[in-house]
């Protein structure tokens, strides 16, 4: 198995994980919609429901890209000449760094959106949970994006540190 096949396989595995995460959110979103109807359309319930419904296309669009547009995702993450070369340490490390970022984006995005929903409709007397955990989750999202965007620089830094 060459590096291109390994990359495609890893992207598809992450796509499958993202799809399962999206499927697992359906009951939660359905209960939010049901609760919004039962609660009599209060602003906070409607806003919460709309935020989660807005995330629904992402929960299924992102896995679609990873599962069915694998070559397009690989072309965005890596240059075509890098895809055609054989496996070397730098390319493999860059691949791993980018895939770690792709792996953590759905989880981090869901957590950040949950915090934004908490900030928008904070119930009276609610604890500061949303405030204390927002920063670590936002940092996780930022690091995941950085792993994708700057995978080459991160791999070069790791390579320099290990020599």
Predicted local distance difference test score (pLDDT) of residue 134: 80
Predicted local distance difference test score (pLDDT) of residue 154: 87
The pTM for the full model equals 0.58
Predicted local distance difference test score (pLDDT) of residue 118: 72
User: How are the residues of the chain apportioned to helix, strand and coil, as percentages rounded to the nearest 5?
Assistant: 85, 0, 15
How many beta carbons lie within 10 A of that of residue 158, not counting itself? 16
For 63-87, the pLDDT digits (tens) are 899 889 988 888 887 766 555 555 5
Taking 50 as the pLDDT cut, the residues of the chain under it are none
Query: Which residue in the block uniquely carries the two structure tokens 């919460």?
Result: 48
């Amino acid at each position: 198995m060459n590096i291109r096949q390994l990359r495609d396989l890893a992207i598809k595995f992450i796509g499958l994980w993202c799809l399962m995460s999206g499927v697992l959110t359906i009951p939660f979103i359905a209960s939010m919609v049901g609760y919004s109807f039962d609660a009599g359309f209060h602003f906070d319930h409607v806003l919460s429901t709309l935020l989660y419904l807005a995330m629904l296309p992402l929960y299924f669009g992102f896995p679609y890209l990873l599962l069915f547009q694998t070559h397009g995702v690989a072309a965005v993450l890596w240059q075509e000449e890098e895809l055609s070369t054989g496996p070397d340490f730098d390319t493999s490390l860059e691949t791993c760094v980018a895939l770690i970022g792709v792996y953590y984006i759905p989880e981090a995005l869901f957590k950040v959106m949950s915090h934004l929903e908490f900030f928008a409709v904070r119930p009276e007397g609610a604890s500061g949970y949303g405030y204390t955990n927002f920063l670590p989750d936002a940092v996780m999202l930022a690091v995941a994006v950085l792993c994708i965007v700057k995978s080459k620089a991160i791999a070069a830094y790791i390579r320099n540190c290990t020599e």
